[in-house]
Structure 1
């Protein structure tokens, strides 16, 4: 055990088996903070969902030594500073194992048995500090949870190897030159009109990808899981087909310019994507592709200029110095736009 001095406080990393920590918890030798049931459930689910691939990455639990010295050997009396939710989730694994082993779902049973046979091998790293007062420990908790730099959205999507929608979003961004020409804002969560003339933010692109994969509008959420799954290559081809037809509705170099193009409005883009794929859940891939092309081409007669007075017939408001009209981004407004697009596309008589 290597002990280091950091700003007059001694620290070390200690590896415990999970059973050792559970024994300490049961004997009141490991003190936890206040638990958050939602966070505990999310961590527990993360562990179970990734046990088969063994891609589980949990940072060390941070704790302070209660009495004694690090020179005395492996600490047996600790108070957790950061990691209460992780520790609580780990403490519930035995009950989770029993439940999943008895599941009617074969995949869940596999996860349960995997956890059961590897439970005794689970090890947890704990960063232990000696000499911290209660107030110093509280400040450390605040610093650990507020001072760290948040990973940018672009990197979270680019590096997320588990989520099909994230992977498809990244593939489309990299493989579609027209989309890149139209512009995708990769660092900011949204694009501020009319100054920002990029067509989409990366978060908005991800929402459109999710719409094509699941067939429904879903809020941006990095924990999103695919509900309806096609082959990855088919997903990407369908979305690229939609973008190809979209860029035939308006010049690609100015489609994201809200001063001239109403297609720079994300609620309208969402409505167009919804119109393009609705009702196709049970179709084959080729039927979907042809259906998207046919519906999008029926919209070529629409005047997509921002100055077209038709847009003021939909829910929205004037904003900014220019008094531009912005469509409302809510379910009711998008639904009205979709109904109008059906009429324009000849889907309704």
Structure 2
């Protein structure tokens, strides 16, 4: 084990099998802080979902030790990684129970979990002789100073979440949407200066409406059922954008000087109006009904100067009217669209 002098503290890095760490925890040689049960559960879910494909990536943990020598320490105080270690211990217990199951699939998964526990090594960065104050400050720095991964990168690189994969595919392949514009660099589209139709976050929320049937959707909510294949959702969403740009040309739809659809609450209301109650239907049934609903809006005046928009909650500012982005306003907009489409 190589030991380096960094500033006034010596540090090193060592690898431990999960089984080895689990045994050290049970014997009290590894000390953990209090853990967040929801975070532990999320880590376990991540492991269970990916253990069969062996696509599990765990960043190094950080620990304090009394002394660094030639052998890796057996007594550690974990500074960062407590939730991960607790999840590992619970995974081992789950594997033992599942391996004894009478159900063949459960037994197979149990042995896979035990193989993972016995053969997977995780890295721990070791600091020698930190005081409690230093250890606490290091924990705070590790969890507050790191740069959060940008939404555009999470969507582009996350191949596991169907929501991100579909959003990324739509973003890259829909030529009309590219013409209308998607703001990737900034988190918000500031009107009227920015004439792009929507932000990347807004695009993902619209994709989520197609997947979940929910009007108000939280992107970190992974618990929803889908009824179509990813490619079918992509076809459906592309068709919706095609119909949307029939209502207002793609090259001008994001210009708030003329288009009220550049008001995001109205855009998301149109998406929900087109999908409401259809999430369990087949692709062809949904597509047919979606087209019919969108074309019933052909006679709606989507110019921002249409006085009807001021009947909905919003804020007037510098000659523009901004619809409120809240559940009540969106529900009223959806009801209004449904009445127009009859």
User: What stretches of structure 1 of length at least 5 have no aligned partner?
Assistant: none
Structure 2 partner of 1:329? 325
Q: For residue 30 of structure 1, what is the aligned residue in structure 2?
A: 30
Alignment correspondent of 1:10 = 10
Query: What does residue range 111-190 of structure 1 map to in structure 2 within 5 Å?
Result: 111-190=109-188
Q: Secondary structure at the match of 2:201?
A: helix
Structure 1 counterpart of 2:58? 58
- 2:163 and 2:204 in contact (8 A); partners too: yes
Most deviating of 270-279 and 156-165: 270-279
How far residue 165 of structure 1 moved from its aligned partner, in angstroms, is 1.1
* SS of the residue 1:243 aligns to: helix
Give the Å deviation of 1:48.
Answer: 1.3
Residue 49 (structure 1) aligned with residue 45 (structure 2): no
Residues 42 and 151 of structure 1: is their aligned pair in 2 closer, same or farther, counting only changes over 3 Å?
A: same
1:311-322 to 2 correspondences below 5 Å: 311-318=309-316, 320=317, 322=318
Alpha-carbon shift at residue 304 of structure 1 (Å)? 0.4
- Report the Cα offset of residue 17 of structure 1: 1.5
Q: How does 1:1-349 map to 2 (within 5 A)?
A: 1-66=1-66, 68=67, 70-97=68-95, 111-222=109-220, 224=222, 226-318=224-316, 320=317, 322-346=318-342
CA distance in 1, matches of 2:52, 2:19: 21
Q: Give the Å deviation of 1:328.
A: 2.0
Change in CA separation of 1:232 and 1:40 when aligned onto 2, cut-off 3 Å: same
Query: Which region of structure 1 is more displaced relative to structure 2, 278-287 or 307-316?
Result: 278-287
Please give the alpha-carbon distance, in whole angstroms, between the structure 2 residues aligned to 1:151 and 1:105.
Answer: 41
Shift of 1:229: 3.5
8 Å Cα contact 2:312-2:332 kept in structure 1: yes
CA distance in 2, matches of 1:224, 1:312: 36
Give the TM-score taking structure 2 as reference length. Answer: 0.92
Distance 2:235 2:334 in 1: 23
Q: Distance in 2 between matches of 1:297 and 1:100?
A: 54
Give the secondary-structure state (helix, strand or coil) at the position aligned to 1:92: helix
Give the whole-Å Cα distance in 1 for the aligned partners of 2:33 and 2:104.
Answer: 36
Within 1, Cα distance between the matches of 2:267 and 2:77? 51
**1:249-283: CA deviations, max 9, x gaps?**
11222211222211011211111111112232343
Deviations 1:127-164 (A, max 9, x none): 11123232222222122111111111000001001011
CA apart distance, 1:117: 3.9
1:275–1:338 CA contact under 8 A, matched in 2: yes
Return closer, same or farther for 1:104/1:257 CA change in 2, 3 Å cut-off: farther
Query: How many residues are aligned here?
Result: 342
* TM superposition shift of 1:199: 0.9
Q: How many angstroms apart in 2 are the aligned matches of 1:180 and 1:64?
A: 51
**How many angstroms apart in 2 are the aligned matches of 1:12 and 1:285?**
56
Kindly tell me: are residues 172 and 270 of structure 1, through their superposed partners in 2, closer, same or farther at Cα, counting changes over 3 Å?
same
Looking at structure 2, the residues matched to 317 and 101 of structure 1 have their Cα atoms a distance apart, in angstroms, of: 61
**Worse-matched range after superposition: 49-58 or 216-225:** 216-225
SS in 2 for 1:4: strand
Q: Does the C-alpha gap of structure 1 residues 107 and 184 become closer, same or farther in structure 2, counting only changes over 3 Å? A: farther
Task: Please give the TM-score of this superposition, normalised by the length of structure 1.
Answer: 0.90
Question: How many angstroms does 1:80 deviate by?
Answer: 0.9
Secondary structure at 2:251's aligned position in 1? coil
What secondary structure sits across from 1:191 in the alignment? coil
Deviation at 1:19, TM superposition (A): 2.1
